[in-house]
């Protein structure tokens, strides 16, 4: 057997009060696609930051061998010089610079003292062709979607003559087509001799693409599986990740559905900058007390746009239609008005719109209901903020020592629990949850599902928007389908299947 390209031996990394990695061992064979799995906070990203020099030599214990030579990286530049390139989950591109400028940022193509722009654009075009992206190198990156930006990051890595490519949750924000293209590209790079490490929560993708998978749990390496020889199943990976068997991916739940709480009639939304474009077309839906209702649709169907337009007209222009709460028409012209009527909306993009990442937990939980914390003098009562946040920390099982911890340093699952806490404290009657489990692991997902069930049991009307049909089938009582902005059907859970939902999601004209 050939010697591995990478060996990480007895890696231990400690932060103040927290041991993030404990004696972790990782071995990656040359030319393979190696997956790393683990729950949020297990230490996966920390391990890769140790490898790439983000955490320099001397700040951790253990040994890194690359191509048989011990590495002592002081910075990410050192690892890139050896051909180790990491692409983080949060893409490091400058939106106002061109594709070519981003690809060669820090590695400018010079002729003497000046940048040779003709050569830069020509070389960028060659790299774009290698990753299968047909874009003009002079296009500003900010004009491109996330899927294309991910490919530009890989093109940037190829410009550095990458030998080991590390991708942290590369498909978390991609649709199915972009994800499939990216996985195909990794296979193509493998044929060219590039070794890849992929961190992902999407076990179906890991089963499809990985040659080996290493499981990390609570900062320790548990086991490395040969995905072919070991006949690995998703259930086995999950069991190793969480340290216990999950007999069911979704908690059992018996709904007690009551009277109608929310009803939307003939809801129409136009594009915010192109008013002639109809994004949501005469949508009608209702949700009852104690009911969990799903909204399914392909990318671009209008799911998020529907939710945001209902919640204080946060999206769209020329909005028309009616919103009823307990049978009485209400106005939701602003976010404040929507909150006052008992509506809450958790965004699909918690890092940009759901949380203030540089603030602590207590401040984020209080953000949507500051009036509840106001003292008689008009100031925010900090002690009350701490008291309430501590209650949610315990009740929601937010894994952190105290509520003064910075939200940006929490794992994705714990961040999502903070978002839910913030909106639950507004005491809403209707919760709209947009991709509530995106980017979090199976163990944390189970906890989120349990919280959703508790909200329904408390008599709330819950709407769940999700790109994962198994998730909707696993937790919802009823599912609406959207296609090209129109509601094309609704099915109770007893009648819904992935096939029946997909048929309605691809239906174009008829509206229920």
pTM (predicted TM-score): 0.65
Task: Determine the Cα–Cα distance for residues 58 and 459; give it in Å rounded to an integer.
Answer: 54
Architecture field, domain 259-342+428-506: 3-Layer(aba) Sandwich (3.40)
Give the pLDDT band (50/70/90) at residue 248. Answer: low
Give the pLDDT band (50/70/90) at residue 17. Answer: low
What pLDDT, on a 0 to 100 scale, did the predictor assign at position 318? 94
pLDDT in tens, 396-428: 888 888 899 898 888 778 888 899 899 989 989
Of 237 and 359, the structure prediction assigns the larger pLDDT to 359
Decide whether 4-245 matches 259-342+428-506 in CATH topology: yes
Closest CA to 357 of 314, 411, 421: 411
Q: Look at the domain 4-245 and name its fold.
A: Rossmann fold (3.40.50)
Q: Residue 194: is its pLDDT beyond 80?
A: yes
Task: Determine the Cα–Cα distance for residues 201 and 469; give it in Å rounded to an integer.
Answer: 16
- The answer to whether 487 touches 293, Cβ cutoff 8 Å, is no
Look up residue 29 and give its DSSP letter. Answer: -
Q: DSSP letters along 173-191, please?
A: T--HHHHHHHHHHHHHHHH
- What ranges do the domains of the chain cover? 4-245, 259-342+428-506
């Amino acid at each position: 057997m050939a010697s591995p390209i990478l060996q990480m031996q007895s890696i231990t990394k400690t932060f103040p009060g927290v041991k993030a990695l404990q004696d972790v061992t990782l071995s990656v064979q040359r030319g393979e696609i190696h997956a790393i799995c683990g729950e949020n906070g297990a230490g996966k990203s920390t391990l890769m930051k140790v490898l790439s020099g983000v955490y320099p030599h001397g700040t951790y214990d253990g040994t890194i061998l690359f191509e048989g030579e011990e590495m002592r990286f002081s910075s990410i530049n050192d690892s890139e010089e050896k051909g180790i390139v990491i692409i983080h989950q949060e893409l490091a591109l400058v939106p106002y610079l061109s594709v070519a400028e981003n690809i060669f940022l820090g590695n400018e193509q010079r002729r003497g003292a000046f940048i040779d722009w003709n050569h830069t654009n020509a070389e960028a075009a060659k790299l774009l062709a290698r990753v299968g992206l047909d874009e003009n190198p002079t296009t500003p990156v900010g004009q491109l979607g996330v899927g294309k930006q991910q490919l530009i990051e890989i093109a940037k890595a190829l410009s550095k003559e990458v030998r080991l490519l590390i991708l942290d949750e590369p498909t978390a924000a991609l649709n199915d087509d972009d994800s499939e293209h990216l996985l195909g590209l990794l296979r193509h790079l493998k044929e060219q001799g590039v070794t890849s490490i992929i961190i992902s929560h999407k076990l179906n993708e890991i089963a499809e693409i990985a040659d080996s998978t290493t499981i990390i749990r609570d900062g320790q390496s548990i086991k490395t599986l040969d995905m072919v020889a070991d006949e690995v199943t998703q259930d086995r990976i999950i069991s190793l990740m969480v340290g216990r068997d999950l007999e069911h991916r979704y908690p059992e739940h018996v709904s007690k559905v009551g009277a109608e709480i929310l009803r939307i009639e003939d809801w129409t939304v136009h594009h915010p900058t192109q008013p002639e474009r109809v994004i949501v077309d005469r949508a009608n839906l209702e949700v009852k007390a104690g009911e969990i209702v799903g909204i399914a649709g392909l990318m671009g169907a209008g799911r998020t746009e529907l939710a945001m337009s209902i919640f204080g007209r946060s999206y769209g222009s020329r909005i028309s239609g009616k919103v009823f709460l307990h049978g009485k028409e209400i106005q939701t012209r602003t976010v404040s008005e929507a909150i006052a009527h008992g509506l809450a909306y958790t965004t699909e993009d918690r890092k940009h719109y759901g949380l203030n990442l540089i603030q602590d937990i207590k401040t984020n939980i209080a953000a949507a209901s500051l009036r509840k914390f106001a003292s008689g003098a008009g100031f925010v009562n900090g002690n009350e903020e701490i008291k309430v946040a501590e209650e949610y920390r315990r009740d929601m099982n937010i894994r952190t020592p105290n509520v003064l911890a910075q939200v940006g340093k929490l794992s994705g699952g714990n961040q999502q629990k903070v978002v839910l806490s913030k909106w639950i404290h507004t005491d809403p009657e209707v919760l709209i949850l947009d991709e509530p489990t995106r980017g979090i692991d199976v163990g944390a997902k189970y906890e989120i599902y349990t919280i959703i069930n508790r909200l329904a049991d408390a008599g709330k009307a819950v709407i769940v928007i999700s790109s994962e049909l198994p998730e909707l089938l696993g937790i919802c009582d009823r599912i609406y389908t959207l296609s090209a902005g129109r509601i094309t059907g609704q099915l109770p859970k007893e009648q819904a299947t992935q096939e029946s939902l997909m048929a309605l999601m691809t239906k174009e004209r008829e509206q229920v």
